[in-house]
Chain A
Amino acid sequence: DVKVTQSSRYLVKRTGEKVFLECVQDMDHENMFWYRQDPGLGLRLIYFSYDVKMKEKGDIPEGYSVSREKKERFSLILESASTNQTSMYLCASSSQNQQGGYEQYFGPGTRLTVT
């Protein structure tokens, strides 16, 4: 079974703090993703990575950065946390399957509250 783990289930930070969210997958997947999910807005893609040290902006990258130094690990960084970054953060990984499609598997999520 694919396993994606995230460093924290719940996190409370203060405005202006630098926040690190860690994600690790154990299936040797090439692609990793960071989403945030908010009520009424659905899943929104922040950043993704298709290889070590490679990253691409998603739909809402402002205020975030990422790091992928190893294939299994993808980190999301909030440079200076703000209250509007209070959200559920979801990490996912994917790899091409036999049918040519890409299935995404999610970690358990991190509920971040910025006060």
Chain B
Amino acid sequence: QKEVEQNSGPLSVPEGAIASLNCTYSDRGSQSFFWYRQYSGKSPELIMSIYSNGDKEDGRFTAQLNKASQYVSLLIRDSQPSDSATYLCAVNVNNFNKFYFGSGTKLNVKP
């Protein structure tokens, strides 16, 4: 079983819609959760961090964490074509070297 699981997609949404990206993790000791955005041919860029259960909002992005269900999600409101990228979920077990990445979900936002 992989440490972090994501649907590879592609997830296609029309411009202006809400994109919902999901991630599950296996280690109940996980304490920190991250979403990275990666454009084709580029490196991952950290866009959201969340550490406690509930929602965390930053502009058009909302990260949601449910530790009991071992589930993390990222909502992108008013999706734009520029949001088209692969989104990587990552978890950290509060040890610098226990950092696990999912394989990513590809998002396509259609104009």
- CB–CB A50/B97 < 8 A: yes
What is the predominant secondary structure among interface residues of chain B facing chain A? loop
Distance A106 CA – B90 CA, assembled complex (angstroms): 13
- CB–CB B97/A48 < 8 A: yes
Distance A108 CA – B92 CA, assembled complex (angstroms): 22
Q: Which residues on A sit within 8 Å (CB–CB) of B90? A: 104
Contact of A106 among B45, B102, B104 (CB under 8 A): B45
Return A10 CB to nearest CB of chain B, in Å.
10
Distance A108 CA – B38 CA, assembled complex (angstroms): 11
- CB–CB A101/B31 < 8 A: yes
With A104-B46, A106-B45, A108-B43 as contacts: A94 and B31 at CB distance below 8 Å: no
- CB–CB A96/B101 < 8 A: no
- CB–CB A100/B96 < 8 A: no
Identify which of residues 7-57 in chain B touch chain A, using a CB-to-CB cut-off of 8 Å.
31-32, 34, 36, 41-46, 49, 51
- CB–CB B46/A103 < 8 A: yes
For residue B80, CB closer than 8 A to chain A, the reply is: no
Distance A90 CA – B9 CA, assembled complex (angstroms): 23
For residue B73, CB closer than 8 A to chain A, the reply is: no
With A101-B51, A107-B43, A108-B43 as contacts: A56 and B101 at CB distance below 8 Å: no
Residues of chain B touching chain A, judged by Cβ–Cβ distance below 8 Å, are 31-32, 34, 36, 41-46, 49, 51, 88, 90, 92, 94-97, 99, 101-104
Residues of chain A touching chain B, judged by Cβ–Cβ distance below 8 Å, are 30-31, 33, 42-43, 48, 50, 56, 90, 94, 96, 99-109, 111
Other A-B pairs, 4, CB within 8 Å; known A31-B96, A99-B51? A42-B104, A96-B96, A100-B32, A104-B34
